[in-house]
């Protein structure tokens, strides 16, 4: 639980519940006056928090949070503690919440108060200085105008009758740490009460309202701060909350005292559930509560009305605990035409026909051989750079990491982004002869592979294109070709390998008859080639192209360009593009090929994005030939914006050229800043680049950026940049609203613009603008409807007086039942915040408990006959007990009312999972009506199958009947009051022993009795014995008897108190065997008994001759003992760990001789684990032998498992 106010100091032990000098730590006590100066403590109440033994003083926490040290004679428990509503006065209370309270006790007590009285009053121990600070902070809010009056219609509904206050909602805003702590405590109270609400209130609660902070007003303040006017939104929110409210929690913090009155709703003729009001046994008609500082009141809103009056400043924190309400769901597709709701967020797209990007293709690094793989790599922040492989060239022969000593034929980098398998080519698909394919430039192959993807997505393959020519254009952007620079064997030389053929061969191969060209403008080549193709596609008069395929390509096949760029200090020594980072030192080279298809028209269902505009320009006369020119970059961007007919402020994402050079990045961002500073933006511009992922593909780089732009508009997001740690100090973007993001970021529009810049190092600048809609996360019709509904104001509320029960509104009914159907009207002419209008079309029927239906079970176990199931103790529960067949599996399904056309069955066949969805009743369901459940058990044993169905809720379970018997035996023993019984699984405690149960078990005490003939009688320690043996005697169970281990003392040969006989003596052995024989004969013959620990229960000699003497629990020579009854192992389902222990025991014993009982020794720790209170020990020889067995025995095989279980069950063994 969150701590109240400022932290308390750590309090010393003893903990809550400890008894010191007759006083229990954590209890409510009253202080008496003692020494001089402590008279003010007389009669004050507090919580006993600790006892300091050194000084002999108790520490008591008072209601004001102060800790006082008092002597024992100054503390007494309350003898006549009267609670409010039960004889107590106005200042009485039910519970004191202090530093030693326990949440489970607090929850139980509050639940009992709400059940018996309908309300609960708590006092909270909170420091006065914390309260004063919280009051001061709220007064400061009022002085600064941050507190407001509620409307006249709502004030008393929120605060209580007669209350006047200025308020503020604690809906995430930080006010004061004490207020926050108290708000957290109210959440804790709601959480603690939630499990009790169904029983106490008859409702399920699942939420609470934000806390309302209120500072009371006097008459003068009431006139100074008049109430505000109410609107439908405020009224609708209040009414919705008021209808769902089940509990109100009010925390009065002071400094004044509030007079709270809870008036019963008995005298009201409407709006009262009399069944709930009358079931409160200790309800009073009216109760007055003096809410002094640190008073907390919780009451049921269905039982009481609240009245709250204050005469001085009082700070109060209040909240409501709300009933769970099932959400209304759209039925079918009856939502009408909502296309007018689509894409209403973000800048509008172009009107009419435009250039569209209709498909994409890639053959890139990192095995991004599909556009979807490339998108995943970008969105996931994947770095595709690797060390240059030997299949390209030996980088280590040229690499020198020291730039100062870089030789003329050396490179400073050894990384690039790399396309695998670039030497592989399927020439048969393209109908190219082998000899010709050997001499082809790899760029021609690469372009054919990528372009073929674009055509295939248009429905064009090689065979189709041979017969059907297309008037389509092709352009390829590149800037260099390494193929002519590398040495080649004679068989690879020759061929037509000029750059123009790279594009020409593609049109030749696929029979394309439109314009075809290669563009080389260095780094902007791909965007330039696509821009020129766009211009050709826009000609719809003379030369109408069907489509245009634009491809960008670059290959790094030789070391020459690496050496030259390193000599010019253009390459990053790290082999990465550190765009926008302070350590940017150049770019990383990469190779790859990608492309897109442009198509003219209005193609909303076919396009990936709209190519809205593009422009290409040149630096002209500049500082140097290769120096970037910010003014030229700015000019080409402005011309692109004018072509698109948009303002720069409508841009959502800006994909920068961003190669990672210390000079180029600041110049580019500076040009963007100048453009964006011309107009105000509503959202921040997201600056990104894909080169941190892919490296710089030089002539093919712009195409990878264009594909990334299409991905971003399709998902309305910005890709993350990577390797971004510290902003480049030369990069100034603080004067315009922009953000460099290293996370995948949404721009919160359903449609938007993405800009792409690409600048050639020779001065050719290009810029393109994409527009698109969110395709991946596009809302469907239902989502559009729900989103619009959330934006609308709550239904109109018509206030009829001060009683909320008489108010009317245009919303759904207070209590919605299954089958209710409403219609909501939405019109395009209505504003987004128009009030909702609900019209009830159909009324649902009250939920059917199904009491009139009978359910039958059928399956192979009863030869598909039907057997009726009996009604259980709970409404809707049907049960039946069946005998497990020889196969060990019960296969079944249900029939409603015994009808073959109303089958109830699981979702999957042979289902062994109890939580599998239940289907039916149905006659035909595509074969699924033949599905059955499959429950496994011991052949011949009894199995209980239960089926619950009530009010639409269904569940199924099954278990062996032994568990039912154990549970019933446990209940009978517990009801007798004579047994200390534990039922559970896992770690449980019994007296001083902590035991880990691996199976559900009953833990009960036993009695060991020495008979006159020297044998032992074992039975329950209480009467009558039938409760103990009668319920378990016929069960086939695994019984484990746990005794205190005193084997070491007996094996040492010494005599214990009373002259005990050593355990190795004949008398001890006889007595031990007699005891175990008695245990075995009293249980069922098929019951396997496992005794954990050693056989020595008591010093045997001390009891020789005491015929018939019962061993009393108080006898100091008798050890504590108990019995655990667990399930018997099944040969088909036995856990391997249990079988391993059996195998060890059998091997340690050798063979099992015939007889009613056999004895095998194994460590007790392997059966159960014990905690404090068990003095477990053993001899070193025994431990050594056991360790040796553990080391040499492997896990048994499946065949061995079955043999072990069958051997044990054939000869029930007592394992000691």
What would the pLDDT profile of 68-82 be if each residue is shown by its tens digit?
Answer: 888 888 888 877 788
**Which of 213-222, 404-413, 420-429 has the weakest average pLDDT?**
213-222
Coil, helix or strand at residue 414: coil
Q: 584 or 1040, which is more confident?
A: 584
How far apart CA 1033 and CA 1049 sit, in angstroms, is: 34
Q: How confident is the model at residue 1150 (pLDDT cuts 50, 70, 90)?
A: very low
| pLDDT per position as a tens digit, 498-507 | 899 999 999 9
Q: Given the DSSP bridges, would you call strands 245-255 and 211-216 parallel, antiparallel or unpaired?
A: unpaired
| Residue 86: pLDDT band with limits 50, 70, 90 | confident
**DSSP summary character for residue 713:** H
CA pair distance 911, 944, nearest whole angstrom:
17
Q: For 117-176, where are the alpha helices, taking DSSP H only?
A: 128-143, 152-159
Length of the chain: 1216
Residue 1057 confidence (pLDDT) above 50: no
d(CA 7, CA 178): 10
Please state which architecture CATH assigns to domain 95-323.
Sandwich (2.60)
Select from 2.30.30.30, 2.30.30.790, 3.30.465.10, 3.40.50.300 the CATH code of 19-77.
2.30.30.30
**What pLDDT, on a 0 to 100 scale, did the predictor assign at position 44?**
86
Whether the predicted pLDDT of 256 surpasses 70: yes
Residue of 38, 83, 41 lying closest to 63 (CA atoms): 41
Sequence-distant contacts of 874-877: CB under 8 A, at least 24 apart: 874/948, 875/849, 875/851, 875/950, 876/849, 876/850, 876/851, 876/948, 876/949, 876/950, 876/951, 876/953, 877/946, 877/947, 877/948
pLDDT at 819: 73
**For position 1177, what pLDDT does the model report?**
29
Backbone angles phi, psi at 688, to 5 degrees: -140, 175
Angle between helices 525-538 and 701-715 (to 10 degrees): 60
Give the mean model confidence (pLDDT) for residues 232-259.
89
Task: Name residues whose C-beta falls within 8 Å of residue 272's C-beta, 6 or more positions apart in sequence.
Answer: 265, 266, 302
Higher per-residue pLDDT: 716 or 225: 716
CA–CA distance, 300 with 304 (Å, rounded to integer): 6
Q: What is the pLDDT of residue 221?
A: 67
Cβ atoms within 10 A of the Cβ of 604, count?
Answer: 11
Half-sphere exposure of 794 (CA within 13 A, CB side): 18
The token pair at 656 is: 């920068």
Closest by Cα among 1079, 1082, 1078, 1083 to 1013: 1078
SS (H, E, C) 291-304: ECCCEEEEEECCCE
**What is the per-residue pLDDT for 457?**
96
- Distance, in Å, from the CA atom of 278 to the CA atom of 266, rounded to the nearest integer, reads 9
Given a cut of 70, whether residue 1135 has pLDDT beyond it is no
Top-confidence residue, 1021 or 601? 601
Per-residue tokens: 421: 């398998």
Q: Specify the pLDDT at position 618.
A: 94
Higher pLDDT, 37 or 627: 627
To which H or E segment does residue 1138 belong? helix 1136-1149
> Does residue 1142 register a pLDDT over 60?
no
Angle of CA points 415, 417, 421, to nearest 5°: 115
Cα within 13 Å of Cα(1150), Cβ side: 2
With 80 as the cut, is the pLDDT of residue 1161 above it?
A: no
Overall fold of domain 354-395+410-614+629-773? Peroxisomal Thiolase; Chain A, domain 1 (3.40.47)
Alpha carbons 343 and 401: distance in angstroms, whole number: 53
Ranges assigned E (strand) in 1026-1131: 1037-1043, 1088-1092, 1121-1127
Confidence of residue 1134 (pLDDT cuts 50, 70, 90): very low
pLDDT range class, residue 104, cuts 50, 70, 90 = confident
Provide the pLDDT for residue 1016: 46
Structure tokens at 1102: 């001390």
Q: DSSP states of 199-212 as a string?
A: HHTSS-EEEEPPEE
Encoded tokens for 243: 């209808």
User: Is-contact 687 654, C-beta < 8 A?
Assistant: yes
Torsion sign (Cα): 605, 363, 415, 403: negative
**Sequence-ordered list of residues with C-beta below 8 angstroms from that of 534, at least 6 positions apart, any chain:** 355, 548, 598, 611, 614
H-helix or E-strand containing 611? strand 609-618
Which of 1013 and 873 is assigned the larger pLDDT?
873
Mean local confidence (pLDDT), 138-147: 88
- The tokens for 658 are 């961003």
Residue 1207 pLDDT: 45
Strand 314-323 vs strand 211-216: parallel, antiparallel, or unpaired?
antiparallel
Does the pLDDT of residue 6 top 80, yes or no? no
Q: Are strands 1037-1043 and 1016-1020 parallel, antiparallel or unpaired?
A: unpaired
Which residue in this structure is represented by tokens 């069960």? 1035
314 - beta bridge partners? 255
Cα 1210 from chain centroid (whole Å): 50
Higher pLDDT, 194 or 1049: 194
Q: For residue 1117, what pLDDT band results from cuts at 50, 70 and 90?
A: very low
* Average pLDDT, integer, range 87-103: 88
Give me the pLDDT at residue 34, please. 66
Which of 127-131, 706-710, 738-742, 1052-1056 is predicted with the least confidence, judged by mean pLDDT?
1052-1056
**Of the given ranges (486-490, 787-791, 811-815, 1083-1087), which has the lowest mean pLDDT?**
1083-1087
Confidence tier at 334 by pLDDT (50, 70, 90): low
Task: Judge contact between 1063 and 1053, C-beta under 8 A.
Answer: no
Rounded to whole angstroms, how far apart are CA atoms 529 and 521?
Answer: 9
Where does the pLDDT of residue 760 fall: very low under 50, low under 70, confident under 90, or very high at 90 and above?
very high
Picking from 644, 736, 636, the residue whose alpha carbon sits closest to that of residue 686 is 736
Q: Where exactly are the structural domains of the chain?
A: 19-77, 95-323, 354-395+410-614+629-773, 782-842, 855-961, 977-1215
Asked if pLDDT for residue 1204 goes beyond 90, the answer is no
**Cβ atoms of residues 1122 and 1003 within 8 Å:** yes
At how many degrees (to 10) do helices 442-457 and 499-510 cross? 40
pTM over 0.75: no
At residue 279's C-alpha, the angle toward residues 275 and 281, to 5°, is 155
Task: Give the C-alpha separation, 929 to 509, whole Å.
Answer: 56
Mean pLDDT computed over every residue of the chain: 77
Which of 3-17, 263-277, 374-388, 1014-1028 has maximum average pLDDT?
Answer: 374-388
CA-based torsion, 1177, 1180, 1185, 1187: positive or negative: positive
Distance from C-alpha of 233 to C-alpha of 63, rounded to nearest angstrom:
41
Q: For position 1153, what pLDDT does the model report?
A: 29
**Residue 983: C-alpha distances to residues 430, 493, 973, 1002, 1028 (Å):** 76, 87, 11, 5, 14
What are the C-alpha distances in Å from 6 to residues 125, 127, 214, 316, 1188? 11, 8, 21, 18, 59
Long-range contacts at 1096-1100 (CB < 8 A, ≥ 24 apart): 1096/1046, 1096/1047, 1096/1050, 1096/1063, 1096/1068, 1096/1072, 1097/1008, 1097/1043, 1097/1121, 1098/1008, 1099/1056, 1099/1057, 1099/1058, 1099/1059, 1099/1060, 1099/1061, 1100/1060, 1100/1061, 1100/1067, 1100/1068, 1100/1071
Is 90 exceeded by the pLDDT of residue 1019? Answer: no
pLDDT, tens only, 558-598: 999 999 999 988 999 999 999 999 999 999 999 999 999 99
Would you place residue 702 in the very low, low, confident or very high pLDDT band (cuts 50, 70, 90)?
Answer: very high
The pLDDT score that the predictor gives to residue 342 is 65
How do residues 958-980 score in pLDDT, each as one tens digit?
987 644 444 454 444 444 443 33
pLDDT interval class at 870 (50, 70, 90): very high
Rg (CA), the chain: 42
Strands 295-300 and 286-291, by their bridges, are: unpaired
pLDDT number for residue 1096: 27
**417-431, 671-685, 785-799, 810-824 — which one is most confidently predicted on average?**
417-431
For residue 522, pLDDT beyond 60: yes
Beta bridge partners of 757: 767
Pair 609, 579: CB distance under 8 Å: no
Describe the chain by its helix, strand, coil percentages, rounded to 5.
30, 25, 45
Q: Which of 396, 398, 422 is nearest to 409 (CA)?
A: 398
């Amino acid at each position: 639980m969150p701590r109240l106010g400022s932290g308390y100091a750590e309090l010393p032990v003893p903990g809550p519940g400890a008894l010191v000098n007759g006083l229990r730590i954590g209890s409510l006590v009253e202080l008496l006056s003692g020494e001089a100066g402590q008279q003010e403590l007389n009669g004050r109440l507090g919580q006993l928090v600790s006892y300091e033994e050194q000084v002999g003083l108790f520490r008591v926490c008072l209601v004001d949070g102060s800790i006082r040290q008092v002597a024992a004679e100054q503390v007494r428990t309350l003898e006549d503690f009267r609670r409010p509503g039960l004889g107590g006065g106005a200042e009485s209370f039910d519970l004191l919440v202090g530093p030693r309270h326990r949440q489970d006790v607090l929850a139980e007590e509050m639940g009992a108060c709400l059940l018996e009285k309908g309300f609960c009053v708590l006092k909270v121990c909170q420091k006065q200085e914390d309260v004063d600070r919280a009051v001061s902070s709220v007064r400061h809010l009022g002085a600064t105008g941050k507190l407001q009056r509620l409307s006249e219609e709502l004030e008393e509904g929120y605060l209580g009758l007669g209350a006047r206050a200025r308020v503020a909602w604690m809906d995430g805003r930080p006010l004061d740490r004490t207020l926050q702590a108290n708000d957290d405590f109210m959440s804790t109270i709601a959480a603690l009460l939630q499990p009790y609400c169904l029983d106490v209130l008859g409702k399920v609660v699942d939420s609470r309202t934000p806390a309302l902070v209120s500072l009371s007003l006097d008459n003068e303040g009431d006139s100074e701060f008049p109430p505000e006017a109410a609107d439908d939104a405020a009224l609708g929110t209040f009414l919705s909350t008021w209808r769902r409210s089940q509990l109100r929690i009010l925390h009065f913090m002071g400094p004044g005292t509030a007079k709270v009155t809870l008036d019963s709703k008995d005298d009201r003729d409407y709006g009262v559930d009399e069944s709930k009001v009358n079931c409160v046994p200790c309800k009073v008609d009216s109760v007055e509560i003096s809410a002094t500082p640190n008073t907390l009141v919780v009451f049921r809103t269905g039982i009481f009305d609240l009245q709250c009056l204050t005469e001085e400043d009082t700070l109060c924190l209040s909240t409501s605990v709300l009933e769970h309400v099932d959400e209304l769901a759209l039925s079918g597709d009856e939502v009408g035409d909502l296309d007018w709701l689509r894409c209403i967020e973000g800048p509008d797209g172009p009107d009419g026909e435009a250039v569209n990007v209709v498909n994409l293709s890639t053959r890139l690094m990192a095995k991004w051989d599909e556009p979807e793989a490339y998108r995943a790599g970008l969105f996931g922040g994947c770095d595709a750079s690797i060390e240059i492989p030997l299949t390209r060239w030996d980088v280590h022969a040229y690499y020198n990491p020291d730039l100062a000593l870089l030789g003329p034929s050396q490179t400073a980098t050894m990384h690039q982004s790399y396309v695998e398998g670039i030497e592989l080519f399927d020439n048969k698909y393209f109908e190219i002869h082998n000899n010709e394919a050997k001499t082809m430039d790899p760029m021609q192959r690469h372009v054919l592979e990528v372009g073929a993807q674009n055509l295939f997505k248009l429905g064009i393959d090689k065979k189709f294109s041979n017969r059907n020519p297309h008037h389509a254009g092709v352009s390829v952007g590149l800037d260099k070709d390494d193929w002519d620079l590398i040495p080649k064997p004679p068989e690879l030389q020759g061929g037509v390998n000029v750059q123009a053929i790279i594009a020409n061969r593609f049109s030749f191969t696929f029979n394309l008859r439109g314009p075809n060209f290669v563009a080389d403008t260095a780094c902007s080549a791909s965007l330039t080639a696509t821009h020129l193709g766009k211009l050709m596609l826009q000609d719809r008069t003379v030369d109408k192209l069907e489509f245009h395929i634009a491809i960008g390509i670059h290959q790094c096949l030789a070391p020459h360009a690496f050496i030259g760029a390193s000599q010019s200090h253009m390459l990053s020594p790290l082999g990465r593009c550190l765009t926008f980072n302070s350590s940017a030192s150049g770019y990383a080279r990469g190779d790859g090929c990608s492309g897109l298809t442009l198509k003219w028209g209005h193609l909303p269902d076919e396009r990936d994005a709209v190519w809205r505009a593009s422009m290409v320009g040149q630096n002209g006369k500049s500082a140097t030939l290769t120096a970037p020119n910010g003014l030229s970059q700015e000019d080409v961007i402005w011309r692109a914006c004018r072509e698109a007919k948009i303002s720069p402020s409508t841009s959502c994402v800006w994909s920068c050229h961003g190669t990672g050079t210390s000079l180029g990045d600041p110049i580019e961002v500076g040009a963007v800043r100048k453009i964006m500073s011309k107009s105000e933006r509503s959202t921040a511009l997201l600056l990104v680049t894909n080169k941190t992922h892919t490296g710089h593909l030089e002539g093919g780089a712009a195409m990878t950026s264009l594909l990334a732009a299409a991905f971003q508009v399709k998902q309305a997001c910005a890709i993350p940049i990577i390797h971004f740690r510290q902003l480049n100090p030369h990069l100034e973007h603080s004067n315009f609203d922009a953000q460099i993001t290293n996370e995948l970021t949404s721009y919160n529009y359903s449609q938007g613009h993405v800009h792409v810049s690409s600048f050639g190092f020779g001065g050719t600048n290009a810029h393109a603008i994409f527009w698109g809609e969110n395709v991946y996360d596009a809302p469907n019709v239902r989502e559009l409807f729900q989103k619009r509904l959330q934006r609308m104001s709550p239904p109109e509320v018509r206030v009829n007086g001060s009683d909320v029960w008489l108010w009317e509104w245009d919303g759904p009914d207070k209590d919605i039942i299954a089958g209710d159907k409403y219609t909501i009207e939405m019109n395009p002419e209505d504003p987004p915040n128009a009030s909702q209008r609900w019209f009830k079309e159909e009324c649902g029927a009250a939920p059917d408990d199904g009491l009139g239906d009978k359910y039958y079970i059928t399956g192979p176990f009863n030869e598909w006959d039907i057997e009726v199931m009996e009604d259980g103790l709970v409404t809707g529960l049907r049960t039946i007990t069946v005998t497990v067949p020889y196969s060990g599996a019960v296969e079944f399904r249900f029939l409603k009312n015994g009808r073959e056309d109303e089958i109830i069955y699981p979702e999957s066949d042979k289902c062994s999972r109890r939580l599998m969805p239940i289907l039916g009743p149905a006659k035909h369901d595509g074969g699924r009506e033949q599905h059955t459940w499959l429950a496994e058990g011991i052949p011949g044993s009894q199995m209980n199958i239960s089926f619950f169905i009530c009010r639409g809720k269904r569940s199924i379970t099954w278990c062996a009947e032994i568990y039912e018997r154990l549970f019933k035996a446990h209940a009978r023993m517990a009801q007798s009051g004579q047994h200390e019984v534990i039922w559970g699984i896992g770690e449980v405690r019994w007296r001083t022993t902590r035991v880990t149960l691996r199976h559900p078990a009953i833990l009960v005490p036993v009695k060991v009795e020495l008979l006159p003939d020297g044998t032992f009688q074992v039975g329950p320690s209480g009467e009558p014995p039938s409760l103990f043996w009668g319920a378990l005697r016929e069960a086939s169970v695994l019984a484990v008897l746990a005794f205190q281990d005193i084997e070491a003392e007996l094996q040492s040969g010494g005599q214990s108190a009373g002259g005990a006989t050593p355990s190795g003596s004949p008398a001890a052995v006889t007595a031990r065997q007699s005891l175990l024989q008695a245990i075995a004969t009293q249980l069922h013959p098929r019951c396997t008994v496992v005794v954990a620990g050693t056989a020595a229960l008591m010093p045997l000699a001390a009891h020789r001759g005491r015929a018939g003497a019962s061993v009393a629990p108080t006898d100091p020579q008798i050890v504590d003992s108990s019995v655990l009854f667990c399930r018997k192992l099944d040969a088909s389902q036995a856990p391997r760990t249990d079988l391993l222990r059996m195998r060890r025991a059998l091997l340690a014993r050798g063979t099992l001789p015939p007889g009613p009982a056999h004895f095998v020794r194994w460590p007790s720790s392997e059966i159960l684990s014990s905690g404090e209170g068990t003095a477990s020990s053993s001899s070193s020889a025994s431990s050594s032998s056991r360790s040796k067995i553990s080391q040499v025995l492997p896990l048994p095989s499946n065949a061995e498992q079955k043999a072990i279980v069958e051997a044990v069950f054939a000869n029930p063994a007592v394992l000691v």
